[in-house]
Amino acid sequence: MIPQEIIRRKRDGQELAAEEISAFIEGLTREDITEGQAAAFAMAVFFRGMSRDETVALTLAMRDSGEVMDWPGVGRPVSDKHSTGGVGDNVSLMLAPIVAACGLAVPMISGRGLGHTGGTLDKLQSIPGYNVMPDPALLRRVVSDVGCAIIGQTGDLAPADRRLYAIRDVTATVESVPLITASILSKKLAAGLQTLVLDVKVGNGAFMEAPEDAARLARSLVDVANGAGTRTSALLTDMNQPLADAAGNAVEVRNAIDFLMGRKNGSRLHEVVVALAAEMLQQAQARRSAEEARAAAIAALDSGKALEIFARMVHALGGPSDFIEKPAQYLPKAPVVIPVPAPHEGWLAACATRDVGLAVVELGGGRKRPQDTIDHGVGLDQIQPLGTRVSKGDPIAFVHANTEAQAQGAVAALTPSFRIADAAPEPSPVVLERVA
């Protein structure tokens, strides 16, 4: 098929056949399609959109552009979760071992930080020796023996997405819902999943800040994934403040260990993790009801079984065998730790969450350019949740930095990120909606 004819038909608002989309993506993968043609295609989709059937076809073509994994003999439902990203979102680190403890197999393909949001792979690379890019044989062995493995996307999984995303990134077409949907799902479905749960973030720390935009993306993801043959649902969750009480890399890994030790029960983070775990168990039909699934997730956490699985996963992928017992010995630490003092008394009423994420990036905990090196030791911890009563000078959070100047710069940036009011804010739910 002639690429420019496919581009013209989409430019003119016509619906493309699955064969046309497949041919275009095959050409993109073989590099028979030029960057200019790929950019024109992305712009046509950006302005004209895609139907559900077109987006399913695009997702499957991108999935099939590389290796599609299978799991013969694993003996468990193969499941995963994807988050659209936020600040202090370390959910994957706890969720994978919790649902593995409940009988699921979780080959979790994760990513690096993007913009103001943290990346699961960057967090895991705080752990000495942890291999985020194992070969397929090791990945299969860890998932079979341990129950879960959190790793990165290999070059063999959905290579068409990698090329198309790089072009979208420099042509202002990243925000297209059909292209976002196909990008997310092609990588996930290439992992050979039977079920998938999506965590779509909403609020001032999310990429989709408006609830209607987040709901539209969630509906697209759910409809397309189910159309592609993978049973999928989504939860919309609040990102108007950091989810964990830490933001960074090593600090979030330490936070995850504390969580798995039962020290974060009752927090917003606990609510989101348990809700997603219950959703995964229900989608995989591993439990009969929402109540039974939720009880199983809590039991896996409270019994210490999920902590044990996390420890085994870390060691199986090259990390220290005694990491859980001695995290302080292994995790990098920043030499300067200072508080962010409350400028006056009152109630923490609002948070500019994106600015909190950008403060971590400025400290070196994220990337300004793709080639930048991450400083795993810097970040924030003991971030107080909205609704906390503070007196003047009370710590709102603690900054972990490499120099006193960097620490003071972060304090100056973070102080106006929190609004302190005379009255306590109305409590807001953290799990907003289910889309199925």
Catalytic: which of 22, 59, 83, 173?
A: 83
Mean residue pLDDT of the chain comes to 94
- 69-111 pLDDT, tens digit per residue, is 999 888 899 999 999 888 999 999 999 999 999 999 999 988 7
- 339-380 pLDDT, tens digit per residue, is 999 999 999 999 999 999 999 999 998 877 666 788 999 999
Domain annotation for the chain: domains and CATH numbers: 3-49 (1.20.970.10), 79-316 (3.40.1030.10), 332-421 (3.90.1170.30)
Query: Which one-letter amino acid corresponds to residue 415?
Result: T
pLDDT above 90 (res 170): no
Active site residue 76: no
Confidence of residue 114 (pLDDT cuts 50, 70, 90): low
Determine the Cα angle at 134 with ends 129 and 138, to 5°: 110
What are the two backbone dihedrals, phi and then psi, of residue 118, each rounded to the nearest 5 degrees? -80, 160
Catalytic: which of 48, 187, 287, 315?
A: 187
Active site residue 188: yes
> Average pLDDT for residues 418-424, to the nearest whole number?
96
Catalytic: which of 10, 65, 76, 80?
A: 80
Catalytic: which of 59, 117, 183, 230?
A: 183
Catalytic: which of 10, 63, 81, 162?
A: 81
Active site residue 163: no
CA 409 → CA 153, 360, 362, 399, distances in Å?
A: 35, 11, 9, 10
Burial class, 143, CB count within 10 angstroms (exposed 0-12 / middle 13-18 / buried 19+): buried
Active site residue 303: no
Catalytic: which of 65, 84, 120, 126?
A: 120
Q: Give the pLDDT confidence score for residue 434 in this predicted structure.
A: 96
CA 63 → CA 36, 104, 186, 416, distances in Å?
A: 22, 23, 4, 44
Catalytic: which of 112, 116, 140, 188?
A: 188
pLDDT above 90 (res 116): no
- 305-335 pLDDT, tens digit per residue, is 999 999 999 999 999 999 999 999 999 999 9
Burial 175-193 (b: 16+ CB within 10 A, else e): ebbbbbbbbbbbbbbbbbb
Catalytic: which of 48, 123, 163, 168?
A: 168
Active site residue 187: yes
Structural tokens at position 157 = 């999984």
Reported as half-sphere exposure (CB side, CA atoms, 13 A), residue 80 has a value of 22
Active site residue 267: no
Active site residue 315: no
Q: Give the pLDDT confidence score for residue 128 in this predicted structure.
A: 97
